[in-house]
Structure 1
Amino acid sequence: LVYPKQRFMPPKLRGFIDLAVAELKPLFSTQ
């Protein structure tokens, strides 16, 4: 996923979002 404001996000926040997306992707793909 690409976020429009990703460039302005702090590295920690970007890392957290990337981790959350990685965790949630399997849930959406199984439905």
Structure 2
Amino acid sequence: MGVYEAKVAWSRGDQPFLDKRYSRAHSWTFD
């Protein structure tokens, strides 16, 4: 059986994580 990896990166730019909410802006990377 094969092994697959995926990475999801969320983008907040320079905004501090004070509101405890995630932006919907994200990217997926598959290997």
Pairwise TM-score range, normalised by the shorter structure:
under 0.3
Report which of the two has the higher share of helix.
1
Give the TM-score, by structure 2 length.
0.16
TM-score (norm 1): 0.16
Greater RCO (CA < 8 Å, at least 6 residues apart): 2
